[in-house]
Structure 1
Amino acid sequence: MSDSTASSTAAASEAGPDARLLLTGAGAPGASGILRSLERSSLDLEVVGVDMDSDAYGFALVDESYTVPPGTDDDYLERVRELVDREEIDVVLPLTTAELEPLSRAKADFADRGVTVMVADPDALETANDKGRLYAFLAERGFDAAPDFERVDTREAFVDTVSSLGYPDRPVCFKRPVASGMRGFRVLDPTVDRADILLNEKPHSAVTTLEDVLVVLEEADPFPELVVMEYLPGTEYSVDVVATGEGVPAVVPRSRERTRAGISFAGTVEQNDELIAAAREITTALGLEHNANLQFRYDANGVPKLIEINPRVSGTIVMCTGAGANMPAFGVKHALGHDLESPEVAWGTSMRRFWQEVFEGPDGDRFRL
């Protein structure tokens, strides 16, 4: 290392990091990949991780760590404000859906503290998070990506809608309007072999029959609000975007070839111009900003339909980083006010995911092998 290089490095170190970032949901499945993406950024970031679980594995991967209440707790925002002030945070990057709404409502308060929260404004967030509202929004504006659906809240409406969408001649899906990670999602398929699923599959199948789910749903009081929609048999894609409010400079589609509990374990980054255009148009129409993830699935006629939006950094966004598009860092740069250019993507890059361990020694120090 030359004397001038050493001097520059020492000066940069003395000047401190480019930014201090508060990462929520440090125990989320995707936190590891997101943190590794941020480490590969041209930005020098110090990361403070928070989670409601004191044993969150992500605490071993960050510079500082704290526990916080759940995002639905009345004390959640006050705790985050306390940590933002204590740790002199510049940017808040949320990873879990439950935290998005309270953080969105408090964006102006954080902005007054000089802090950017990487979440959409409340109106855009409410539509994106609620699948029934989202599908209605798409249909009203004439998007081809709008799936056939109905929102129901009674047994009679549920059964009638399932029938009107083709059951039992073809499968039909239903889900909760607001949920994540496949919670509450089921495919109704009258041809399913229930004995085969019971005896030969791990207990995570989303396929069942109308008769089976009615037994369970009729026990609920009141009957739950559900979104019933057409079954889409084609390939599923996740499309990661970064929106600036003035445009959508980064859009990266990737196939979901193998999933577990809604998380991609295998896929390929693909230059699908149809999905790139659809994701950009929908993101713009909704008024989303920062990182977001749009999930599409093709119908029987080869038309991509939007099945949900995660208006946050997605759990498998590290796939984009592996293909040269560091979308988490891209989003942080926007939050810090940097100008953005479209990333160069190595289309065709594929990913396979495996498990990794985090240890805690008897002294309480967390580490990885």
Structure 2
Amino acid sequence: MSHTTPTHRHGNDNQITVLMTGAGAPGASGIIRSLRANGERDIRIVGTDVNPDAYGFALLDGGYTVPRGTDDGYIDRMVEIAAEVQPDVILPLTTAELQPLAEHKAAFDATVMVSDPTALELANDKGKLYEFLADHGFASAPRFQRVTSIDEFVETVEAFGYPEEPVCFKRPVASGMRGFRVLDERTDRLTQLLSEKPMNAVTTLDEVRPVLAGADPFPDLVVMEYLPGVEYSVDVLATGDDVHVVVPRSRSRTRAGISFEGTVEEDAELIREATDICRALGVEYNLNLQFKYDAEGTPRIIEINPRVSGTIIMCVGAGANLPYLGVKHALGEDLPPVDVQWGTRMVRHWDELFHSPDGETFRVDAETAGPWSLA
């Protein structure tokens, strides 16, 4: 894949500007810290978000509000912002913005860090992705069926072994576990009702059938085999024709699809499979592949997020600053070898950001037990 080397806006290789979308995304804080901790150059980071109170604005060098990526005015607004900010690269963090940015790369005088539209569409749509992987003989392709009616949905769920076995379904294009459910008749409904938080994704066919039957039109859904094994998140920096680095990490504890605990592991099978998939798709820049093991111990792909993942800072802590390496690739620079510290473990904790009545933004400092200003 050809790659054009841009001219740095500031006339100095050690000073670049990144326009980062999704300033309120859960992983924005870690990605901002990763870019700043590159050890090579100063980076000015300007952000955008649909929410004017997005927490990431307080961590950036400037910020702008934008329409949602699916809105008609999104690209026009981004072009307007880019003309003012003059970024060297544009780094999108949210799924809804990827396709419009990919289709309008030529509108920007900067490198947009997103795969070409064709590769992006395959990676983003789980139904098309599973079909592509199965057609190309990938062992990680899961058993699945795309359904377009309630009768087809029920028939497919039962064909996949329900109610004796759990079965999953999801929207083909979604993020953050939106639309994902596990149908499982073995669930103790009373325990789930009284002892578990209401965000649990496990339900039954009897509960979802009337909801889906009343949908007009019926939503596009993918029914998929249930995978009981360990889940892995694999971060990749792809270069279009090849792959520069692949970092698998276990997901020991998650909340709403976000990793809160895990370990960076040198899993040769996952590294090889992720590499081959990325080469076959022709994807580029940072992306994330989610795998889960089936009952026989074979890793099956759940989804691909063709963007920087929300927990990519876990790789940074293990010595692989993938967000910054992605920026270097976007700038057309040579990529250095990466020495991953396998076995690095991460535990994530919450942090708080405050807005005082007079408009000051601050955090509470543990050492002084008082606020310190970000302004």
1:5 counterpart residue number = none
1:20 matched to 2:17? The reply is yes
**Matching of residues 106-145 of structure 1 within 5 Å:** 106-110=104-108, 113=109, 115-145=110-140
**Matching of residues 1-369 of structure 1 within 5 Å:** 18-41=15-38, 42-110=40-108, 113=109, 115-369=110-364
Shift of 1:16: 8.5
What SS does the aligned partner of 1:47 have? strand
TM-score (norm 1): 0.94
Does structure 1 conserve the Cα–Cα contact (< 8 Å) formed by 2:319 and 2:338?
yes
Aligned residues: 354
Q: In 2, Cα distance between the equivalents of 1:221 and 1:195?
A: 32
The one-letter code matched in structure 2 to 1:68 is V
Q: In 2, Cα distance between the equivalents of 1:359 and 1:73?
A: 30
Does structure 1 conserve the Cα–Cα contact (< 8 Å) formed by 2:241 and 2:282?
no
What SS does the aligned partner of 2:90 have? strand
What SS does the aligned partner of 2:259 have? strand
Does structure 2 conserve the Cα–Cα contact (< 8 Å) formed by 1:153 and 1:223?
yes
Q: In 1, Cα distance between the equivalents of 2:71 and 2:156?
A: 35
The one-letter code matched in structure 1 to 2:286 is N
Q: In 1, Cα distance between the equivalents of 2:240 and 2:150?
A: 41
Q: In 1, Cα distance between the equivalents of 2:163 and 2:86?
A: 58
The one-letter code matched in structure 2 to 1:19 is I
Shift of 1:368: 2.9
The one-letter code matched in structure 2 to 1:105 is E
CA RMSD of aligned residues (A): 1.4
1:6 counterpart residue number = none
TM-score (norm 2): 0.92
Instruction: Tell me the alpha carbon deviations over residues 227-286 of structure 1, each in whole angstroms, 9 at most, x when there is no partner.
Output: 001000000000000011231011000001111111011110000010000000001100
Shift of 1:220: 1.1
Q: For structure 1, which runs of at least 5 residues remain unmatched after alignment?
A: 1-12
Does the C-alpha gap of structure 1 residues 50 and 280 become closer, same or farther in structure 2, counting only changes over 3 Å? Answer: same
What SS does the aligned partner of 1:249 have? strand
Shift of 1:14: 10
Q: In 1, Cα distance between the equivalents of 2:217 and 2:47?
A: 38
2:368 counterpart residue number = none
What SS does the aligned partner of 1:69 have? coil
Instruction: Tell me the alpha carbon deviations over residues 10-57 of structure 1, each in whole angstroms, 9 at most, x when there is no partner.
Output: xxx995852100010000000001011111112311000110100000
The one-letter code matched in structure 1 to 2:302 is I
1:3 counterpart residue number = none
Shift of 1:176: 0.5
Shift of 1:215: 2.0
Shift of 1:218: 1.4
1:4 counterpart residue number = none
2:4 counterpart residue number = none
The one-letter code matched in structure 1 to 2:78 is V
Does structure 2 conserve the Cα–Cα contact (< 8 Å) formed by 1:51 and 1:68?
yes
The one-letter code matched in structure 2 to 1:185 is F
Instruction: Tell me the alpha carbon deviations over residues 74-120 of structure 1, each in whole angstroms, 9 at most, x when there is no partner.
Output: 1111111111110111100000000001000011222xx2x000000
Does structure 1 conserve the Cα–Cα contact (< 8 Å) formed by 2:236 and 2:246?
yes
Q: Once the two structures are aligned, what percentage of the paired residues are identical?
A: 63
Q: For structure 2, which runs of at least 5 residues remain unmatched after alignment?
A: 1-9, 365-375
Q: In 1, Cα distance between the equivalents of 2:313 and 2:98?
A: 21
Q: In 1, Cα distance between the equivalents of 2:234 and 2:13?
A: 35
Does structure 1 conserve the Cα–Cα contact (< 8 Å) formed by 2:27 and 2:310?
yes
Instruction: Tell me the alpha carbon deviations over residues 303-351 of structure 1, each in whole angstroms, 9 at most, x when there is no partner.
Output: 0000100000000001001111111111111011111133111100111
Does structure 1 conserve the Cα–Cα contact (< 8 Å) formed by 2:79 and 2:107?
no
The structure 1 segments of at least 4 consecutive aligned residues displaced by more than 4 Å after TM superposition are: 13-17
